[in-house]
Chains A and B, each alone.
Chain A
């Protein structure tokens, strides 16, 4: 089954404790992206990747890192999480840049 898989689904952590949210897609898509969803603000892009080893900042990249060493994986790294990064995070992929995005089921992150 074609899908985008994120883990974990829920995560509670404390300020400053590094964490990684994993994302994997099995559709051989070139393009992958991370979004955060906050009430009243919709979906905002954090980082995106047009292909392996190519990443770029989205609208709200501060406090986040990503890597794209393999085509299928695009982890999101929070080196020192802060409470304002409490949010619902979505990974998404598409065949090529920016069209027909397929989303994962989301990761609800709470930073205390």
Chain B
């Protein structure tokens, strides 16, 4: 089946630094989604991407749908302590509408 490789697995950064994470796939996806999971909660949708090459921002977050349709990137600028959590990418492709999730990037921000 489809697999997503998400990297890095974890990041430890200082407050104010920028963050980049990415997901790559062996298959083409029609939709890329980025979620954030706060400790003790369910994942919450951050950004949805629907077109190859699309670049979308949500506040300090920016995500891109790779032109090959096999990858996506999430950048967080000027990180703050509340950015702590697990970030998941998810891709959807094919006729079964299934979302495939990456294994997550654990982000720790030191104040």
Contact = CB atoms under 8 A, between A and B. Distances in A.
A64 interface: no
A42 B42 contact: no
Nearest to A48: B98
Contacts of B33: 99-101
Pairs of residues from A and B, 9 with the lowest C-beta to C-beta distance, nearest first: A97-B97, A103-B42, A98-B97, A42-B103, A43-B101, A98-B92, A98-B99, A103-B43, A105-B42
Contacts of B6: 42
A57 to B, nearest CB: 11
Contacts of A99: 31, 33, 48, 92, 97, 99
B67 interface: no
Contact of B42 (A45, A48, A97, A106): A106
B45 A100 contact: yes
Interface size class of B (residues with CB under 8 A): 20 to 34
Interface of B: 1, 6, 31, 33, 35, 40-45, 48, 88, 90, 92, 96-99, 101-104
Interface of A: 4, 31, 35, 40-45, 48, 50, 58-59, 90, 92, 96-106
Contacts of A101: 33, 43, 45, 90, 99
Greatest chain A CB density within 10 A among B35, B102, B104 is at: B104
Given A59-B1, A103-B43, A96 B99 contact: no
B43 A42 contact: no
B101 A102 contact: no
